Amino acid sequence: MTRFALTLEFDGTPFVGLQRQATGPSVQQAVEEAVHATTGETVTLHAAGRTDAGVHALGMRAHVDVMKPIEAFRLMEAINHHLRPDPIAVLACEAVPDDWHARFSCIGREYLYRIANRRAPLTLELNRAWQLPQPLDAPAMHRAAQALVGHHDFTTFRSVHCQSASPVKTLDLLSVERVGDEVHIRAAARSFLHHQVRSMVGCLALVGMGRWREEQIAEALAARDRAELGLNAPSEGLYFVRALYPDD
């Protein structure tokens, strides 16, 4: 048996999420079926993180165990062939030690959220960014975001369906910057709660629009109450950027 680490890029628009579900097509199902078509084996895809319906990935790490002798490059090429026309691509594939695990060996995860801050309808970026026509004050959003960096109880920014044992997380980075007519929010942590990034982005957008004071981000955090959440940003602007491992 060989354990192969995969780096996946995907457009989450047509999927119910990364994880296999009975309610519709998933990224996991598509990749597992592509591996089966290549090797004849039934495998389980393990990923560094889960993504909701509509969330995208630029560099999701995952792994599968394959019994058939096959080179990593040939496996990658074959999986990509069988994935067509699904909007999923294997960007890299390598053999890793048997004790390497895409999820449990991961020590950090990074996300990007894209806000298209323009009035004209989205065409090329439809379903790939959250469109807000109101002018956004990115510097104010960045200042407000710093109240969330560090070790906190993120109950306010946690989905009621979150299965994490604790609402306490350490947020290593939360930055906001304007890039042309877009506002980019970057978040990094060892792990995140369900909807944490989208919830933080939604409240920061309220600051950017002038509907919230900058201080209200810290006040919402301190409340530890989901009812104090101002806005949960939609899934289409969220991207899983990369997963970090001890040897990176």
Residues belonging to the active site: 52
CB of 140 within 8 A of CB of 178?
no
Please tell me the distance from the alpha carbon of residue 183 to that of residue 116, in angstroms, as a whole number. 7
Please tell me the distance from the alpha carbon of residue 15 to that of residue 18, in angstroms, as a whole number. 7
CB of 207 within 8 A of CB of 136?
no
Rounded to the nearest 10 degrees, the angle between the axes of helix 138-145 and helix 196-208 is 130
Amino acid at 115: I
